[in-house]
Every structure is written in C-alpha cells, then in structure tokens.
C-alpha cells in the first residue's frame, strides 16, 4: 500500500507541476502553426457548403512547404512555398502563381506578444475533446467588443497544432468550421516536400508581379479605426487585366485583420457598392471621388464599414 500511496502522490504533484495555462497553450499553438511535419485530411464548412482537402506540411531549415489538394468539387491543388502560392487547376489547364500575403485559412495569425491579444480578447480553457482520434485542449478566445469575432480552438495536446477551429459571432453562433478528420504527425517532411513542382507544358501560367511596399503615410490613410487596429502593411498590388496597380492597406489587431483596396478603375463591372458577405468574411465598398474603396476581412460588418468610411486621401 505504501508504494501505491507514493505513486498516487507523485502523479498528483507531477500534474500540478505540468499544468499549463491558457497562455502556455496559445504560445504552443503560435510556435507550432508553421513548424513541424504532418499530413491529414480536413473539412471546411462555410455558407452551408462543405469542402474537404488533403494537406501535407513540411518544415526544414526555416523553410516551409504546404500542399493542399481538393477532395470534392473542382479538382485543384495549392502549393505554398518560398513566399509564393502556386494554384493548379487541371481541368482548366491553368496555373496561377502569386505572392503569399496571408496565412493559410486554418493557421490564424497570432501576435508574438500575447499581452497584446489580452487587450482585446478574453482567453479561457474549456475542457478537452478528441478530434481526429487525438486528445485536444479547447481554448476560447472571446472578443471584448463587437468589432471582432471570437474563436474556439481545439489544440493537439502533443504538438499544439490546431485540429479544429470555429469562428463565432456575438450571438455565440459558429459562422465557420474547420476540422481535421485524420491527422498524422511525422518525424520528417512528407516525401514530396521541397521537390520541384511539375507543371505540364500545355498549361497556361499566370504569374503576378511582385507587390511594392509603400511608406506608411503614402496617399491614403484611415482617419478612424476600431480600438486596437493599426496599419500593418501598405502596398501596391498588381492586378491582372489592369494597367495600374491597386493600393492595399492592411489593418490588424494582432489576430483579426482587414484589407482595404483602393482602385481608380471606377467603371469596373463588378465594383461593390454597399455590403456583401461569405461565411465569416464581410466586405463593404463605396465610391470616394474617382476611387473605389473596398474593405474586406474576417470581422463583423460594422468593422469593415467603419474602416471603409474612414479612408481618406492625404492632400
């Protein structure tokens, strides 16, 4: 009995020492999001539509390689490597190559300084569940105002990788779901990682020119922003079929972000006047003199509307 009592006491104290806080889990998630080697299948639900994709992720010597293959709908493959995104559409015999300007949909940006996150979100631990036959810790990220969404993360207990994510509005309704159905963590990169991407000779290749960084005070600025949002990027983004580039301003609070596109092509047939949405993504557009201003982001409508209406041209 004595050895059993010692074993029980040891396990209790071990649990206390190893207990992790919500901040530990967010740090673990942030560190693991772009590292490690794994493969699996995940489903993505938005606007009553379900999409399944196969993913392979490799990391080596600071370089990251990601392959995404659609398992339903139109066949396509997305390859993220060396700061660019290669989109392959076999049925269309088309390849599109663009700069990688944002994270993957299931890898949300997290601030390196977690204290910044705590200014605008309340973080809490909700319990544990099994996802893709693996144990996970549930983390709730609840916004402190109505200018951003909440998030519910299911983090793999061994690696910290996110195996499920729900985007939640102020009514506690899930607007989007992402969840792995199978997941395998690998000791080394998948065998296809870092190999030369093969593009058939009969495929048309569309390559976007590089974006041009601009000074923070260049031409356009936001007179008013929701608390916590700030300008993080100001670039000239080349647009296909247009002679001129479109200016893009990116505002973020460290987790949520909004892109504002400013286009002088006022006669564009598909320009946005007012509000539109797709799942958790909202967009708001308006005319400002001879320019079309469009704000879009995974934030509530009032956020993109406020930012779009506050954009001004510096005289």
Question: 54, 180 in Cβ contact below 8 A?
Answer: no
* CA pair distance 40, 42, nearest whole angstrom: 7
Nearest CA among 59, 202, 274 for reference residue 67: 59
The confidence band for 49, taking pLDDT boundaries of 50, 70 and 90, is confident
The answer, yes or no, to whether residue 18 has pLDDT greater than 50, is no
* CA pair distance 234, 220, nearest whole angstrom: 9
- How many Cβ atoms sit within 10 Å of the Cβ of residue 4? 8
State what percent of residues in the chain have pLDDT above 90.
Answer: 35
- pLDDT averaged over the chain? 81
pLDDT for the residue 297: 93
What are 253's two structure tokens?
């609070």
- 209-313 has the same fold as 20-63+102-186: no
What are 227's two structure tokens?
């608390």
Across 71-173, the runs of DSSP E, i.e. the strands, are: 77-81, 84-89, 94-99, 121-131, 134-143, 150-156, 162-168
Sheet of 291-297, strand order = 212-213, 230-237, 246-252, 257-263, 291-297, 281-288, 274-278
Q: Domain residues of the chain, as ranges?
A: 20-63+102-186, 209-313
209-313, superfamily in CATH?
MucB/RseB, C-terminal domain (3.30.200.100)
State what percent of residues in the chain have pLDDT above 70.
Answer: 79
Determine the CATH number of domain 20-63+102-186. Answer: 2.50.20.10
Nearest CA among 98, 107, 89, 101 for reference residue 33: 107
pLDDT for the residue 267: 66
The answer, yes or no, to whether residue 142 has pLDDT greater than 90, is yes
According to DSSP, the residues that pair with 51 across neighbouring strands are 44
pLDDT for the residue 273: 79
pLDDT for the residue 278: 85
Question: 52, 72 in Cβ contact below 8 A?
Answer: yes
The C-alpha angle 185, 188, 193, rounded to 5 degrees, equals 100
38-42, 55-59, 144-148, range with the lowest pLDDT: 55-59
The answer, yes or no, to whether residue 15 has pLDDT greater than 80, is no
pTM of the model: 0.81
Please write the tens of the pLDDT for every residue from 54-70: 999 888 777 888 889 99
pLDDT for the residue 63: 80
pLDDT for the residue 100: 65
- How many Cβ atoms sit within 10 Å of the Cβ of residue 63? 13
């Amino acid at each position: 009995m004595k050895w059993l009592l010692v074993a029980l006491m040891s396990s209790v104290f071990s649990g206390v020492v190893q207990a992790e806080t919500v901040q530990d889990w967010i740090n673990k998630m942030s560190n693991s999001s772009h590292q490690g080697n794994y493969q699996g299948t995940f489903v993505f639900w938005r606007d009553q539509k379900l999409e399944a994709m196969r993913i392979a992720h490799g990391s080596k010597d600071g370089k990251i390689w990601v392959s995404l293959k659609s398992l339903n709908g139109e066949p396509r493959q997305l390859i993220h490597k060396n700061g660019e995104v290669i989109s392959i559409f076999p049925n269309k015999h088309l390849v599109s190559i663009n700069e990688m300007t944002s994270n993957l949909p299931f890898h949300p940006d997290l601030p390196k300084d977690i204290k910044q996150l705590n200014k605008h979100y309340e973080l809490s631990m909700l319990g544990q569940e099994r996802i893709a036959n693996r144990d996970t810790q549930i983390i709730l990220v609840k916004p402190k105002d109505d200018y951003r969404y909440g998030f519910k993360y299911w983090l793999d207990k061994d690696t910290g990788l996110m195996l499920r994510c729900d985007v939640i509005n102020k009514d506690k309704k899930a607007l989007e779901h992402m969840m792995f159905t199978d997941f395998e963590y690998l000791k080394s990169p998948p065998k296809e990682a870092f190999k030369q991407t093969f593009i058939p000779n009969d495929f048309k290749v569309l390559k976007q020119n590089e974006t041009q960084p601009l000074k923070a005070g260049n031409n356009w600025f936001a007179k008013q922003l929701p608390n916590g949002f700030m300008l993080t990027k100001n670039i000239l983004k080349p647009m296909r079929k247009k002679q001129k580039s479109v200016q893009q301003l990116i505002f973020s609070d460290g987790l949520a972000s909004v892109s504002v596109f400013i286009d002088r092509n006022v006669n564009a047939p598909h320009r946005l006047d007012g509000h539109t949405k797709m799942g958790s993504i909202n967009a708001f557009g308006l005319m400002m003199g001879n320019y079309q201003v469009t704000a879009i982001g995974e934030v509530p409508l009032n956020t993109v509307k406020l930012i779009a209406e506050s954009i001004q041209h510096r005289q």
